[in-house]
């Protein structure tokens, strides 16, 4: 179960949790839409974007990145490249802000010196779920769920059961209640990948989870992982075609790497293939 997909499911169903997390309490944020957007030039997709309605030009676009592990390559290169390619493609009238949510501070690789101007800059907000104050869970169910993602495994079962009990008390709409509890289930499937669905269900006091959406989505994700190889082949085909063309136009290797969101070393691999 990929952690970033869990964040995006939470924000799709309960977008208010995001604005509570970043400390934005303007009531007009309810008009934002959480979406994804393809970057035309590269076929990359920005999966986490909060878009304000067109009439609110003074409100920023939020680009959201979730990190639950340390990537081999500093992810800030990829993240900012995608943002700037998006801005180049769509030329939005709104300002923008980047928000990175880490389940733990240790997964933050630190800003590369190329982006040092974003350090202590309101353009970039970094949030560490494992460092949120203990009382943040009292503010809303959405914040409680996000904090659960950063909770240590030994503390998670009790907090998960408590959150489910609270959900049943506070959410009177049974459909919304069910959706929220299924998000809690999904968080636990991620946090305890070695446990069976029966064991996760017992941990939460819910019984066997095999009939739930969390179980079905996990099965589907397993199938999709088998398709990743096909996507990788498509990416290689794209670079094989585009790298020589861009070089002929006078682009440097570094410019190609930044534009396509890959490393300089990867670009050089496609030069040697020619």
pLDDT per residue as tens digits for the range 242-273: 788 778 777 788 878 777 777 888 888 888 55
Q: Is the pLDDT of residue 231 over 80?
A: no
In a domain, 212, yes or no: yes
Number of domains within the chain: 3
- 84 and 178 in a single domain? The answer is no
Same domain? For 115 and 5 the reply is yes
Residue 66: phi and psi, rounded to 5, are -110, 135
More reliable by pLDDT, 131 or 249: 131
Rounded to an integer, the average pLDDT of 172-188 is: 89
The CATH number given to whatever domain includes residue 51 is: 3.40.1350
Nearest Cα residue to 199 out of 157, 137, 255: 157
For residue 219, pLDDT beyond 70: no
Residue 42: phi and psi, rounded to 5, are: -120, -5
Report d(CA 161, CA 25) in Å as an integer. Answer: 28
- Cα 267 to Cα 242: distance, rounded to the nearest angstrom: 10
More confident residue, 271 or 175: 175
Residue 198 has pLDDT above 70, yes or no: yes
Same domain for 162 and 117: no
- Tell me: do 3 and 96 sit in the same domain: yes
Tell me: do 245 and 164 sit in the same domain: no
Q: Is residue 231 part of a domain?
A: no
31 domain-assigned? yes
Distance CA 186, CA 172 (A): 21
Q: Please give the pLDDT value at position 274.
A: 43
pLDDT for 123 equals 95
Instruction: Pick the more confident residue, 222 or 53.
Output: 53
Q: How far is the C-alpha of 255 from the C-alpha of 244, rounded, in Å? A: 13
pLDDT of residue 271: 80
- 230 found inside a domain: no
Tell whether 124 and 208 lie within a shared domain: no
Contact 135, 101 (CB under 8 A): no
Closest CA to 70 of 47, 120, 99, 104: 104
Question: Do 130 and 165 belong to one domain?
Answer: no
Same domain, 74 and 125: yes
pLDDT at residue number 1 = 43
By DSSP bridging, strand 124-128 and strand 33-39 are unpaired
Q: Is residue 145 part of a domain?
A: yes
What domain range includes position 5? Answer: 1-150
Q: Which residue has the higher pLDDT, 152 or 233?
A: 152
Does 36 share its domain with 115? Answer: yes
Of the residues 205, 225, 245, which one is the last residue of a structural domain? 225
Shared domain check, 171 and 98: no
Domain check: are 160 and 253 in the same one?
no
Q: Residue 42's pLDDT is what?
A: 54
- Average pLDDT over the chain, rounded to whole? 83
Q: Among all chains, which residue has been given the structure tokens 């990416």?
A: 235
Pick from 118, 150, 182: which residue ends a domain? 150
Is 202 in the same domain as 169? yes
Q: How confident is the model at residue 49 (pLDDT cuts 50, 70, 90)?
A: very high
């Amino acid at each position: 179960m990929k952690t970033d997909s869990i964040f995006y499911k939470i924000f799709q169903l309960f977008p208010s949790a995001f604005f509570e997390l970043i400390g934005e309490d303007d009531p007009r944020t309810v008009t934002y839409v959480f979406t994804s957007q393809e970057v035309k030039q590269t076929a990359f997709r920005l999966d986490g974007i909060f878009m304000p309605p067109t009439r609110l030009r003074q409100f920023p676009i939020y680009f959201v990145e979730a990190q639950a592990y340390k990537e081999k390559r500093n992810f800030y290169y990829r993240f900012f490249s995608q943002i700037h390619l998006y801005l180049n493609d769509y030329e939005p009238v709104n300002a923008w802000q980047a928000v990175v949510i880490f389940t733990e501070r240790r997964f933050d690789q630190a800003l590369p010196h190329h982006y040092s101007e974003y350090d202590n800059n309101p353009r970039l907000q970094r949030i560490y779920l494992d460092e949120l104050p203990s009382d943040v869970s009292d503010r809303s169910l959405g914040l409680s769920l996000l904090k659960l993602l950063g909770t240590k495994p030994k503390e998670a079962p009790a907090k998960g059961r408590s959150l489910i009990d609270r959900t049943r008390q506070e959410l009177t709409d049974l459909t919304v209640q069910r959706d929220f509890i299924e998000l809690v289930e999904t968080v636990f499937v991620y946090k305890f990948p070695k446990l069976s669905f029966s064991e996760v269900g017992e941990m939460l006091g819910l019984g066997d989870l095999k009939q739930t959406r969390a179980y079905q989505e996990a099965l589907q994700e397993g199938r999709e992982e088998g398709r990743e190889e096909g996507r990788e082949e498509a990416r290689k085909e794209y670079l094989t075609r585009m790298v020589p063309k861009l070089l002929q136009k006078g682009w440097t290797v570094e410019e190609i790497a930044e534009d396509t969101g890959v490393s300089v070393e990867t670009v050089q691999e496609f030069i040697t293939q020619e």
